[in-house]
Amino acid sequence: MEQSNTVYPEILKRNSLKITQPRLKVLEIISTKDSAISQPELEKLLGKDIDRVTLYRVLASFEEKGIIHKIFDLHGTATYAMCSTNCSEHDHHDQHVHFICRVCNSVYCLDEITLPKVSIPDGFSLEAIAINALGVCNHCKK
């Protein structure tokens, strides 16, 4: 889901977030990755540009606003990927299958797979559906 640099400030404005270099840089990295990225990976890519506390705050605010969603890899580490464009602060639509590579532990969003309709009992409130597929990604197959 690669986006142009002019889109990042618009994403922040649309979500009532101040346009800052740390937010723009995190958006750029997450949106140009073909798989979800963990906070430690983000730290490595950002180097000394953003401290750990700022990165946590940026990720938390992005998740709260519906800009990114969190997926846990095979080791229980949180990874982050861009939400679909129709997600908002109070209404996430990222209910899709996540493919986790058992070799490299990368997590991929499989947006093209339609999830089955889930019926829940009366009195229950559905907030999210998480379906993970496990296998070997195309990079590790080579």
pLDDT band per the 50, 70, 90 thresholds, residue 112: confident
% of the chain beyond a pLDDT of 70: 89
pLDDT at 1 over 60: no
**Quick one: pLDDT band at residue 91, thresholds 50, 70, 90?**
low
Distances (CA, A) of 113 to 51, 64, 91, 94, 109: 37, 25, 20, 12, 9
Instruction: Retrieve residue 129's tokens.
Output: 């559906």
Angle (deg, nearest 10), helices 39-46 and 52-65: 120
Sheet holding 97-101, edge to edge: 107-110, 97-101, 131-135
SS3 85: coil
Average pLDDT over residues 105-119: 87
Q: Average of pLDDT values for 43-63?
A: 94
pTM for the full model?
0.82
Please say if the pLDDT value at position 140 is more than 90: yes
52 neighbors 44 (Cβ within 8 angstroms)? no
Across the range 90-118, mean pLDDT stands at 84
